[in-house]
Amino acid sequence: MRFTQLIWCLMFLLRLGFFTEAILDPVDFLALQAIRKSLDDLPGSNFFQSWDFTSDPCTFAGVYCDGDKVISLNLGDPRAGSPGLSGRINPAIGKLSSLTELSIVPGRIMGALPSTLSQLRDLRFLAINRNYLSGEIPASLGDVRGLRTLDLSYNQLTGTISPPIGSLPELTNLILCHNHLTGSIPSFLSQSLIRIDLKRNSLTGTISPASLPPSLQYLSLAWNQLTGTVDHVLLRLNKLNYLDLSLNRFTGTIPGRIFAFPITNLQLQRNFFYGSINPANQVTIPTVDLSYNRFSGQISPLLSSVENLYLNSNRFTGEVPASFVERILSASIQTLYLQHNFLTGIQISPAAEIPVSSSLCLQYNCMVPPLQTPCPLKAGPQKTRPTTQCNEWRG
């Protein structure tokens, strides 16, 4: 009732000409006042210094208007190193009915996301990262059908990623990494979705082949507890230029055909994959990281076109293909990590000199390294795998 009375009072004063400079819709005016009362500058920040409500709010820092409506709200000093803001997001933010963009810089914003955000039917961009938001992501955000970017990364959000979020038809960027989200990954319906970043959560379950659209260019699911196979999923994603599935519990094989895609970064480390890598086409990926898995079989020579190749800590067997030796000696390969496998040989001269720009690590395999090369500290001090382990693996 009090809110309605204030609106009528403001409208009456406007008609009488008391506020000749105030052109903002009274509903938006009062919403901004409520938002301001719920937030404060952290020490060292002067963002709200310009928020003097005796002047036109459309001149405030971070407030952008179209006519008498607020269409964009960017709260906090965006410059690098700014202390940011503290407080909570006032539910009155849902009164900004024409808002298309909402962002809050990193700071100490706490509490839950207000469910009133679902009233912002024109919202296209929502980014509140590196704060202390808690609680669940409101399923009602799925009602904001025009939402394209949702970035709530580096917070303390819990609960699941609800199916309504996955059903957003125009979603292009979903960034929810570094939270405490649980449950399974929903199916995403948007055919314009290009980026999904869900790393460092506690997501579980398997990934359905149809759950991820082929439009994806960036996919990071690292540091979760996902299980099952990924071969049929990856075969659909032929536009990827970044893929990180490390530190999960995936099983199955990796289809060789995926390495023909122009992926620029591939990380599948520290999983529980089984099977072998045997590409059917020439690899065109600058960086491939398959370390800390349980891949087995021989290493395909087609992988020698990779500039940075991490195959360490797997179960690869056989000899290292000659094409790798040629490319490492010509400095075409910058990084070749093969340590902690079951490899039995490599045709390289003990007198060969590895270029300064290249790194080769061969230790802890079923062979004596023909030449000594510097390895990362994690490789350990042992140069050769115990014979008993090699014999058991052959058996």
pLDDT in tens, 111-149: 999 999 999 999 999 999 999 999 999 999 999 999 999
Token pair for 7: 């609106």
Q: How far apart are CA 395 and CA 389, in angstroms?
A: 10
In this predicted structure, what is the pLDDT of residue 41? 97
CB–CB of 199/224 below 8 Å? yes
In this predicted structure, what is the pLDDT of residue 92? 98
Q: For residue 57, what is the DSSP state?
A: G
Q: How far apart are CA 382 and CA 358, in angstroms?
A: 22
Long-range contacts of 371-379 (CB under 8 A, 24+ apart): 375/337, 375/339, 376/337, 379/312, 379/339, 379/340
Residue type, 146: G
Identify the bridge partners of residue 359 per DSSP, sorted by sequence position: 335
Q: For residue 384, what is the DSSP state?
A: B
Token pair for 263: 């992926």
Residues in the chain predicted with pLDDT less than 50, given as ranges, are: 13-22, 255-256, 263, 273-283
Residue with tokens 């790194």: 359
Secondary structure (3-state) at 93: helix
Q: How far apart are CA 385 and CA 363, in angstroms?
A: 8
Q: How far apart are CA 291 and CA 140, in angstroms?
A: 40
In this predicted structure, what is the pLDDT of residue 61? 96
Domain borders along the chain are 290-394
Residue type, 290: L
Q: How far apart are CA 323 and CA 328, in angstroms?
A: 9
Residue type, 162: S
Token pair for 29: 């005016």
Burial of 373 (0-12, 13-18, 19+ CB in 10 A): middle
Token pair for 135: 């609680």
In this predicted structure, what is the pLDDT of residue 285? 58
In this predicted structure, what is the pLDDT of residue 149? 98
